[in-house]
Amino acid sequence: MPLKLNETTADWLSCICGNTPISDGFYSCLEDGRPVEPDVDGPWEGSLYVCAGCYSIYNVYTFEDHGKASDIAIQMLNVGITQ
């Protein structure tokens, strides 16, 4: 998928929807966008983050777009639930 991140000189992600870590933010997530605690012993594999502005999922190491979060993931993000 085409990259949907803005190029920035800052040391953080900037999504084309306008979201940055200091606005809506980005959350560690599973493949379907469900937010998870970034725990070494947990289910998070360490590279995926979901944009809380438009729900796009990104790999922070390769900057690849992994699509949009699932409906259940969006509901979890909206109510602040993490796995």
Whether the CB-CB separation of 43 and 83 falls below 8 Å is answered with yes
Q: Which residues contact 50 (CB under 8 A, 6 or more apart)?
A: 26, 27, 29, 33, 35, 56, 57, 58, 69, 73, 77
pLDDT of residue 1: 42
> Who has greater pLDDT, 1 or 13?
13
pLDDT of residue 7: 56
Q: Where are the domains of the chain?
A: 1-83
Whether the CB-CB separation of 80 and 34 falls below 8 Å is answered with no
pTM for this model (two decimals) = 0.80
Amino acid letter, 37: E
Query: pLDDT tens-digit profile of 62-80?
Result: 888 899 999 999 999 988 8
Query: pLDDT tens-digit profile of 9-40?
Result: 556 678 889 888 888 999 999 999 999 988 77
